[in-house]
Each structure stands twice: as C-alpha cells, then as structure tokens.
Amino acid sequence: MTWTDMITESTRKTTRPTRPSYVPPPFRNTPFGYPTEAMHTGSFSGSAYGFARSSPSQPGSSRRGGGRSRGRGRGRSQRWSSHPANQNFNYQHQLVDVGENFDELEITEDGGSNNNTNENSVINFDAYEDIPVEITGSNIPPPVNTFTEIDLGQGLNENIMRCKYVKPTPVQKHAIPIAVAGRDLMACAQTGSGKTAAFCFPIISGVLRNRFHTAGSGRGRSRMAYPSALILSPTRELSCQIHEEAQKFAYNTGVKIVVAYGGAPIVQQFRNLEKGVDILVATPGRLVDMIERARVSLGMIKYLALDEADRMLDMGFEPQIRKIVQQMDMPPPGERQTMLFSATFPLEIQRLASDFLSNYIFLTVGRVGSSTDLIAQRVELVQDMDKRSLLMDLLRSQKANGIHGKRPLTLVFVETKRGADALEHWLSMNGFPAIAIHGDKVQLERERALKSFKSGATPILVATDVASRGLDIPHVSHVINFDLPKDIDDYVHRIGRTGRAGKSGQATAFFCDKNIPLAKALVELMKEANQEVPSWLSQYAEHSSHGAGSRTKRYGGGRFGGYDLRGPYGGADTGLDSYAASSAYGNAVSASTGYPAATEDAGYSVAATGESYSTASHGYEFDNKSVSATGWD
Ligand SMILES: Nc1ncnc2c1ncn2[C@@H]1O[C@H](COP(=O)(O)OP(=O)(O)OP(=O)(O)O)[C@@H](O)[C@H]1O
C-alpha cells in the first residue's frame, strides 16, 4: 500500500464519520487537484522556488538546520536534492500522481459549498502592512519576506504554492525562520493571522530533514507509537482543524500526521497510530490516556507546539500539560524544540513558558491580546429581556447581504450550554436556521453542527466558548456576543472568528448591567483597534474598577499589552548592563515593521545580540545589511 493510499485510508476511517475523505479547499474543483500546469508537470526547481536567498548566519542558531551552511540558488538546491530524506520523498513524488490522489481525498459531503478555492490568493495583504512587531531574546534569526527564502524543502514549498500562500503573513515572516533555526519560541499574533502555518511549516520541514527512519510506530512487537512532533491544542475541533491543515501542508511528502482527541473512539485512533506517526496532534486529556495505556511514547519528541496555550490553562488542563511535558518521557527543554502560540498571553502562561522553554525568543506581532482593526466592533446597551428582539433585528437586517451569492454566516456566542440550546430553538422557531454547539453535545453532534454551519446549510451557529478559539471558518461575517464573556481575552478570541486572513468582519456585543466589570478592558481594546466607543460605555469604564476582565491585571500592570517577563533583554546574560540603560537600541534589537510613531512608546523591545534593527519606517538592518521588511513585501 502506498503512503497516499494509507493516508486516504486513514482519512476514510477517521473517527469523524461525517467526513469520509478530504481534499484541501484550495485544491478542489481543479482538473488535477492542483491549480497550475507548472505544478502538474513538476517543473518547479529548487532555484526557482526554494532557495533563492541565503540568510545571514546566526550565532548559536545551528541546532536544527538553521545554522547549516547555506548556498544560493542552484547550489543550495543541489545540496537539498542530495539529502537522503529528500531523495526519499522525491522518489515518492515521481511515483505518485498528485492529481489522482487529490481526487481521492475529496470531501464529497460538502457538495462544494464550503469551497474556498483561491480565497488565499485574495487575502488582503495590505491590511497587515503596518503591524507592529516586537522581538526579545538572544541571537534572533532575521525575518524573511518570502517563503522561498527559507530552506523548508521542495515538497513543503510546493504545497505552500498549492495552498496559494503567496507571501508569509507577518507572524510567519518572523516565526518561521526562528523555528527553522531550532529556537524555542513564544509567539503572540492576532487572530486569523496565520499562526497555524507558522508552527506547522518548521515542524514538517524539520521532520523531513530528520527522516532517516520510517514514521514512529511500534518497534518490534511493541504497539507503542513514537511521534517526533507533538502539537497540543485545547479543543477537539481545533485539533481536527490543525490536523487537516497539517495534512494539506505535508501532502505527498510522506510525513504522517495523526490526530487524537476525546469524545471519539480511542480504538480507531490507536489503529491510526499503529500505521505510523511523525506528527501527533492531540488534546491533552486524550493524550494522557494514550500515554498511560502505553500506546504513545514521547521519548522521541523533537518538536513540541502548544497552540492556544492560555486556553488550555483556562480549561484546567495545566496538570495534564505539566504531566505530558514534565513528568513523562519527553526530552527536557533544550533537547526538544518548544513553541507556544496564541493571540493572548496572560501572565500565567508566561510563567509556564519559563518552565517549558529554553533560551526562547519572545515574539509579538500586533499588540498582545489586541483585536485586529479588520473587525468593526459595535457595542449595544441592552436589557437582558430585550436581547432576543435585538438579535432578531440584526439578523433581519443582514439577511440581504450575501457573500458570493451565499448568505453570510453568523456566529452567536452565549454563556451557557442551556442558553445555547434555548436560543437555537427560539431562532429556528422564528424562521432563522440555527444550530448549537457546546460541550454537552456528543462529539458527533458537535461535528455535525460545525459542518452544517461551515457549509452554509445552517447559517447561524449558537455557541459557547467551545467554538471561540482557533476555528477558521470562511465567510463568518458577523460575530454576535449575545452574552459577553467575563474575560476580555475570550472576547478577543470570539470576535476573531471573523476578520481573518486580511478580510473584514463585524462584531456586535450586547452589553447589560452584569457586564460592567468588563467595560474598562473593552474600551481599551476598542480604542486600540481604532473603534468608535459609545460614550455610555466610556462612562461605565471610568466608574468601574479594573474588574475581572482587566487587561492590566491579565498582562501585568504598567504597559498596555504583553511583555517578556524575563525583562527587556529576554533574560539573556549579556554582560552589557550599560545597554539596558540605553534607549538608543545600541547593540540591541528592536524590530518594528512600520510601527506607527504614535504607538511606538508602547512597543519597545530589546535584546542583546550585537545586531541592530532599525525602526526607521519599513526597513531593517542586520549586520549592516539592509533587508526590506515592509510588513508584507
Ligand atoms: N501566508 C498566507 N497566505 C494566505 N493565507 C494564509 C496564509 N497563512 C495563513 N493563511 C490563511 O489565513 C487563515 C487564518 O489562519 P490561521 O487559522 O492559522 O490563523 P490563526 O492566527 O491561527 O488564528 P486564531 O488565533 O484564531 O487561531 C486560514 O484560512 C489560513 O489558510
């Protein structure tokens, strides 16, 4: 059985019975399952697509390939091709007809209605042009402006093109070179800004580089699986989404990716593991179960990524996470590479980071915990009893505004599971097709609800916070906080289900008396995202204390936004005390891609590296070499 047969087989036998097979959206409805003739004929060459520019070498960054000698163009391409691992997947590449296999992988039940072919190519890149970037840590690898500047390998580069990812997003520009250089990373970037690829690409590329053995399943008679990468995420749906994304990125490379999450039969997941696994995507609870049953060993883990790490703590997963990372057989920090990603990083997660990460780089793209200004935010003052009629008015008024001939999707967040069921029922009775998703529904119902919403069959999803994090659903044009969350970070993630990948979105919040503790944080957040704040909300904010949702409390006082707890030099023992006092960035790093002058004071970052970044508009300097870094260019 070929690898692609196996992957198709495993996808068919997925524990998610409503999704028998999968084809990544960008590849659907294309004659051969991929968009261009050039791809079909395999006419990419390393020099054309892979390795056009060499990066300045970074001291101390060589552990996992980042410090390998790098040539330019053809020379580097030849080196890559001669790599045994690369020969292996080139060989597979020749044997396997890409188009046929994409046809095999097609999702049939979507009926094409969830087809977002070409969507990535129309991403609004300009939307991120002036995003502020802050980096702390030592020996920071420089950012890139194109994917081809990074030595990700031919197979992955081809898949990036197939996905129509034309340029890296800002977080990808910075995070990918850092991760490819083998460095630990704590990265915070706004919702919908491409964090998934930012950790998937380096992991897949690293797995390919180190692939001298077959994927880690049982050795000898043991049925233990030995993945070399682990991606932890808080919810089942998010784990499934990351799994699908990663499969798309690893298509036809031979990298085996398996997902494990609760609420689905564990036996099927064991079978998937037995077929071999390089990258395991898992929720913490199910993973602990598998480890305790001696079906998964973490002894070979080289890459560990925690997506939405702060949410995992909120959900009470800290004991499981600590168990997985610190008390099992996982290699310690320094021997594995660890990455934490989220759009929000409250203080408690930074403390966890200091236990899990080694000599890490702290990256923030956009202000920590901020919402993107692609989302138009409105807040309506309303009594509890009037919420339903206000919701009805909103839904009626948007009914006419279709996207691509389809009705826009609306995500309505409520506080409780019972509230979700009740609102779903009430909306349905009133002629608004709605479906609910929450933690009391069995997994199959949750998946059906999500699928029906994604496809547009049921254009209103009533959800608890189970759907607030990470889910990437095209065409969500409006997020309504029917009940506001208690915590501002949850608000940020909820509204982040719209306004993704450079597209605009709308968010409406129903504010009632019990939300007064959130007023201050909400006003700060809205102002920062250049939103109009109603005067009544400002008044509430002035009269309320910091309250439960306070950003100041969450992010540690003083500065608005997050900062590196290790201090301005990222904890580096610089021996350069005098530099700490200097604000002139001498021998220090401050990275800002076109940081607006008005906000510059809130966004300093320094690290002692001996390099200097210029904060002059749209430019960097590395070791006196100018590198264009104008956000997206
Ligand atoms: N370089 C790129 N070019 C075009 N589209 C991209 C690129 N990177 C990511 N995307 C698309 O942007 C969307 C959002 O990406 P992703 O889900 O990774 O965001 P995120 O930052 O993880 O969001 P969240 O914080 O909500 O989890 C996805 O549809 C993804 O396919």
375-411, pLDDT tens digit by residue? 999 999 999 999 999 999 999 887 755 544 456 799 9
**Residue 566 has what pLDDT?**
65
In ligand 1, the atom with minimum distance to the C-alpha of 343 is 25
Which range among 275-289, 542-556, 574-588 shows the weakest confidence by mean pLDDT? Answer: 574-588
Residue 623 falls within a domain, yes or no?
Answer: no
Length of the chain: 633
Looking at the structure, do residues 199 and 263 belong to the same domain, yes or no?
A: yes
Q: Does residue 559 have a pLDDT over 50?
A: no
96-132, pLDDT tens digit by residue? 222 333 223 322 223 233 333 344 444 565 656 677 8
Looking at the structure, do residues 297 and 436 belong to the same domain, yes or no?
A: no
Average pLDDT, the chain: 70
Residue 580 falls within a domain, yes or no?
Answer: no
Tell me the average pLDDT across 583-597.
Answer: 28
**Ligand 1 centroid to 472 CA: how many Å?**
7
- Of 304, 310, 353, nearest in space to 469 by CA: 310
Q: Does residue 432 have a pLDDT over 50?
A: yes
49-65, pLDDT tens digit by residue? 222 223 333 333 333 33
Structural domain range at position 406: 375-544
Characterize 284-305 residue by residue with b for buried, 16 or more Cβ atoms within 10 angstroms of its Cβ, and e for exposed. bbbbbbbbeeebbbbebbbbbb
8-60, pLDDT tens digit by residue? 344 334 333 333 222 333 333 433 232 222 222 222 222 222 222 233 333 33
**Ligand 1 centroid to 624 CA: how many Å?**
33
SS3 content of the chain, % helix, strand, coil (to 5): 40, 15, 45
Looking at the structure, do residues 284 and 334 belong to the same domain, yes or no?
A: yes
Looking at the structure, do residues 298 and 358 belong to the same domain, yes or no?
A: yes
In ligand 1, the atom with minimum distance to the C-alpha of 169 is 1
Tell me the average pLDDT across 280-301.
Answer: 96
In ligand 1, the atom with minimum distance to the C-alpha of 196 is 18
**Ligand 1 centroid to 128 CA: how many Å?**
13
Q: Does residue 367 have a pLDDT over 60?
A: yes
**What's the CA gap between 253 and 250, in Å, rounded?**
6
Q: Where are the alpha helices (DSSP H) in 498-559?
A: 519-528, 535-543, 551-555
Looking at the structure, do residues 160 and 266 belong to the same domain, yes or no?
A: yes
Q: Does residue 497 have a pLDDT over 50?
A: yes
Residue 418 falls within a domain, yes or no?
Answer: yes
Domain endpoint, select from 333, 365, 397: 365
**Residue 221 has what pLDDT?**
54
In ligand 1, the atom with minimum distance to the C-alpha of 238 is 27
Tell me the β-bridge partners of 409. Answer: 476
Looking at the structure, do residues 262 and 172 belong to the same domain, yes or no?
A: yes
Structure-model confidence comparison of residues 523 and 81, the more confident one: 523
Residue 588 falls within a domain, yes or no?
Answer: no
Looking at the structure, do residues 294 and 157 belong to the same domain, yes or no?
A: yes
Q: Does residue 553 have a pLDDT over 80?
A: no
**Ligand 1 centroid to 197 CA: how many Å?**
7
Looking at the structure, do residues 404 and 361 belong to the same domain, yes or no?
A: no
Residue 496's CATH number:
3.40.50.300
**Ligand 1 centroid to 24 CA: how many Å?**
14
User: How many domains does the chain fold into?
Assistant: 2
Contact residues of ligand 1, CB 6 A cut-off: 120, 123, 165, 167-169, 172, 189, 191-197, 343, 470, 472, 496, 500-501
Q: Does residue 589 have a pLDDT over 50?
A: no
**What's the CA gap between 606 and 225, in Å, rounded?**
42
What tokens does 227 get?
Answer: 């993945």
Concatenating the DSSP letter of every residue in 185-216 gives: EEEEE-TTS-HHHHHHHHHHHHHHHT-SS---
Domain endpoint, select from 508, 526, 544: 544
Residue 554 falls within a domain, yes or no?
Answer: no
Three-class SS state of 451 = helix
Domain endpoint, select from 544, 569, 587: 544
88 band by pLDDT with thresholds 50, 70 and 90? very low
Nearest residue by C-alpha to atom 2 in ligand 1: 165
Q: Does residue 483 have a pLDDT over 80?
A: yes
ipTM computed for the complex: 0.98
Q: What is the 3-state secondary structure (H, E, C) of 87-116?
A: HHHHHHHHHCCHHHHHHHCCCCCCCCCCCC
**Ligand 1 centroid to 470 CA: how many Å?**
9
**Ligand 1 centroid to 608 CA: how many Å?**
31
**Ligand 1 centroid to 393 CA: how many Å?**
32
Tell me the average pLDDT across 468-480.
Answer: 87
Element (DSSP H or E) covering residue 413: strand 409-413
Looking at the structure, do residues 185 and 315 belong to the same domain, yes or no?
A: yes
Residue 156 falls within a domain, yes or no?
Answer: yes
Residue 9 falls within a domain, yes or no?
Answer: no
Looking at the structure, do residues 428 and 518 belong to the same domain, yes or no?
A: yes
Nearest residue by C-alpha to atom 5 in ligand 1: 120
Looking at the structure, do residues 165 and 300 belong to the same domain, yes or no?
A: yes
138-158, pLDDT tens digit by residue? 999 999 999 999 989 999 999
Q: Does residue 624 have a pLDDT over 80?
A: no
Looking at the structure, do residues 353 and 299 belong to the same domain, yes or no?
A: yes
Best probe residue, ligand 1, of 121, 191, 472 (max atoms within 8 Å of C-beta):
472
Tell me the average pLDDT across 5-10.
Answer: 38
Residue 511 falls within a domain, yes or no?
Answer: yes
